[in-house]
Amino acid sequence: MARLTVAQAVVRWLCAQMTEIDGVKLPLFAGVFGIFGHGNVTCLSEALEPVQDRLPTWRGQNEQSMALAAIGFAKAKRRRQIMIATSSIGPGALNMVTAAGTAHANRLPVLLIAGDTFTNRLPDPVLQQVEHYGNPTVTANDAFKAVTRYWDRITHPAQILQSLPQAVGAMLDPADCGPAFLALPQDTQELAFDYPEAFFEERTWRIPRPRPDRTALAEAAALLKTGQKPLIIAGGGVRYSGAEEALRAFALKRGIPVVETIAGKGGLTHHDAVHAGPIGIVGATSANTLAGEADVILAVGTRLQDFTTGSWTAFAPEARFIALNAARFDALKHRALPLVCDALEGVAELEAALGDWAAPADHLPRAKALFAAWDALLDQHQAPTNAAVPTYAQVVEVVNRFAAPNDTLIAAAGGIPGEVAKGWRVKAPHSFDLEFGFSCMGYEIAAGWGCAMAQQGPGGLGGTPIVMLGDGTYMMMNSDIYSTVLSGHKMIVVVCDNGGYAVISRLQQFKGVPGFNNLLQDCRIADRADPLHVDFAAHAAAMGAASRKVASLADLAEALDWARGNDRTTVISIATDAYAWVPGDADWDVGVPEVSTRESVTQAGAAELAIGARQRIGV
């Protein structure tokens, strides 16, 4: 038996968990992002300090951003290795709720450990405790229940014997993957208990690969064989399963074009023989045209979010879906024929079940012709002009041209996602991370830190994370620029300054509302004629980063080359046009006032009703 405190036992157990990546055994938990307060500093930090060589602790600047960094790490590792984020109680814990929602929406593993109030309640109310008069068992940590896959509050030392393996099982289950949360009350962390030594034996975890039901497989093969214009939608599950090459070979042999979701983008390179572009609201005309014509759609590893489906207006009413997904919940959506299985196993078995069937010979070539036309349109929008201020599309082209194959583009919210989803030409698999399951402002820089750890650490691909974000997102969460300078994890950050929340202002005005409270010029400010613009380069320099403010595309290209040679995180700021965007052709149902005194809103409402009339009914 080993007599340990709860905190010591948790840390010792975490250190004994291993994973296997491409045949190499590595720690399952690669490290801890931590901000210590009274809820975790006396016991948990005491347990973490002696094991820094096995479980390194990295100090964050904000609880939300360090948990987002853990998500960026997990995504870069394709869910095979996990980071931990720990906070004190109260506001520190609640700061991680947004990150938990991001991990939950994107089906990504992160272990969140927060301190909690006293189970004995003798010192109540303690510092930072919220009190519920009718239910004293509720604390701030109950807020995590809505945004985690596994939640537990440890009130007795023996509970971790069951809870810790269950938390890992939830995080590694492809059908149930997401964040796990453990609340450690302050008077539980300190308790000593005699734990069996067997609990701390080394264990190697492997992600399961469930195979499809044979009857469902036969039905899926029979349905796919009826397709005259079949289409494959590749989602993030393809990448997490490692099924990219199998899906590519399947599509090429069967003559089926592949379009990608936002999470799936990066599974194929831009010029792959079966690639027909990104689908949906921030997708390519080629992909959306194919979606509208498709009679059978094989959706692999996607939850079919509204940005993929055009709020379910992108497909013909009579089109049939086969949903190949590890999660039963996702496989059953919209009258799909469900294949509940791992993507790699499911694609292999579906391939074997199809015999010599293939789509009509002209189907894939036509898709590639549509994609070539889309590429030509991109070239037009990304080409330099004599305009005083460059567009997002032009900036994306310069950064894309600069990026090495093993660099990773990271983006999340604002105007950047649509422009990189459409215009970023992927050069190598797994070099693209666009967080749009939750569209979390503030993900970008934090995720860049986590991605740098993953890429530059054991088993990483090397390369440099390239973070692209707008001025609004930079203002929301930028402190991990300082973290990367402290820790030595380099990234390149490109800030596109368009004077506020430009893309949401675009949506606001498109739906009939005058520009209001989004662009700086439309806000309540002291000097409306000359809104204050932050010097982002100077701000980043104050945190220790190398930085430049550039005024042209040529200067941007030069600054990127300079950034490549720097030994630390580098931030480049460039003014961008707030009104010019690459066009899109998919609908988005966002809701418009049913009544309004504004004619522009009334007209937008009529257009919204037309969108509703085109939606597939998910029954």
- Domain limits of the chain? 2-205, 214-371, 384-575, 593-619
HSE-up (13 A, CA, CB side) for residue 477: 27
For residue 105, give the H/E element and its range.
Answer: helix 97-106
Strand order across the 150-153 sheet: 57-59, 29-34, 82-87, 111-116, 180-185, 150-153
Find the mean pLDDT for residues 354-379.
97
64 contacts 98 by C-beta, under 8 angstroms: yes
pLDDT for 532: 78
pLDDT for 148: 98
Find the mean pLDDT for residues 119-124.
92
To the nearest whole number, what is the mean pLDDT of the chain? Answer: 95
Find the mean pLDDT for residues 56-66.
97
Type of residue numbered 321: F
What dihedral angle (degrees, nearest 10) is formed by the CA atoms of 460, 473, 287, 271?
A: -40
Higher-confidence position of 28 and 608: 28
Cα–Cα distance measured from residue 92 to residue 37, given in angstroms and rounded to the nearest whole number: 8
Higher-confidence position of 583 and 491: 491
Query: What pLDDT digit, counting tens, does each position of 233-290 carry?
Result: 999 999 999 999 999 999 999 999 999 999 999 999 999 999 999 999 999 999 999 9
Q: Considering only CA atoms, which of 386, 373, 358 is closest in space to residue 224?
A: 358
pLDDT grade for 511, boundaries at 50, 70 and 90: confident
Type of residue numbered 543: M
Q: Does 570 score more than 90 pLDDT?
A: yes
pLDDT for 458: 72
Query: Of the ranges 162-166, 300-304, 513-517, 571-575, which one carries the lowest mean pLDDT score?
Result: 513-517
Cα–Cα distance measured from residue 95 to residue 100, given in angstroms and rounded to the nearest whole number: 10
Query: What pLDDT digit, counting tens, does each position of 396-424 carry?
Result: 999 999 999 999 999 999 999 999 999 99
Query: What pLDDT digit, counting tens, does each position of 469-482 carry?
Result: 999 999 999 999 99
Cα–Cα distance measured from residue 525 to residue 230, given in angstroms and rounded to the nearest whole number: 53
74 contacts 83 by C-beta, under 8 angstroms: yes
pLDDT for 613: 85
For residue 300, give the H/E element and its range.
Answer: strand 296-300
Q: Does 76 score more than 90 pLDDT?
A: yes
What is the reported pTM?
Answer: 0.96
Higher-confidence position of 94 and 587: 94
Q: Does 13 score more than 60 pLDDT?
A: yes
Sign, Cα dihedral of 131, 133, 137, 142 = negative
Q: Does 512 score more than 90 pLDDT?
A: no
Cα–Cα distance measured from residue 77 to residue 70, given in angstroms and rounded to the nearest whole number: 11
Q: Does 461 score more than 80 pLDDT?
A: no
Q: Does 618 score more than 70 pLDDT?
A: no
* C-alpha 597: how far from chain center: 39
Any idea which fold 214-371 has? Answer: Rossmann fold (3.40.50)
Q: Considering only CA atoms, which of 485, 504, 505 is closest in space to residue 493?
A: 485
Q: Does 527 score more than 80 pLDDT?
A: no
pLDDT for 614: 86
Q: Does 619 score more than 60 pLDDT?
A: no
**Which residue has tokens 């600069």?**
402
Q: Does 149 score more than 60 pLDDT?
A: yes
Query: What pLDDT digit, counting tens, does each position of 171-199 carry?
Result: 999 999 999 999 999 999 999 999 999 99
pLDDT grade for 453, boundaries at 50, 70 and 90: very high
Q: Considering only CA atoms, which of 440, 446, 455, 431 is closest in space to residue 484?
A: 446
Q: Does 459 score more than 90 pLDDT?
A: no
**CATH superfamily, domain at 384-575:** Thiamin diphosphate (ThDP)-binding fold, Pyr/PP domains (3.40.50.970)
Cα–Cα distance measured from residue 350 to residue 608, given in angstroms and rounded to the nearest whole number: 39
pLDDT for 295: 97
Find the mean pLDDT for residues 107-119.
97
> Residue 519 carries which DSSP code?
B
pLDDT grade for 117, boundaries at 50, 70 and 90: very high
For every residue of 457-483, DSSP letters joined together read: STT-----EEEEEEHHHHHHS-THHHH
pLDDT for 505: 87
Q: Where are the beta strands (DSSP E) in 509-590?
A: 546-550, 570-575
Q: Does 366 score more than 90 pLDDT?
A: yes
pLDDT for 610: 85
Q: Does 373 score more than 70 pLDDT?
A: yes
Q: Do domains 2-205 and 384-575 have the same CATH topology?
A: yes
Q: Considering only CA atoms, which of 336, 297, 332 is closest in space to residue 315?
A: 297
Output the CATH code of domain 2-205.
3.40.50.970
496 contacts 472 by C-beta, under 8 angstroms: no
pLDDT for 586: 87
| Geometric angle at alpha carbon 235, from 229 and 241, rounded to 5° | 120
Token output for 368: 């590639």
Q: Which residues pair with 194 in a beta bridge?
A: 3
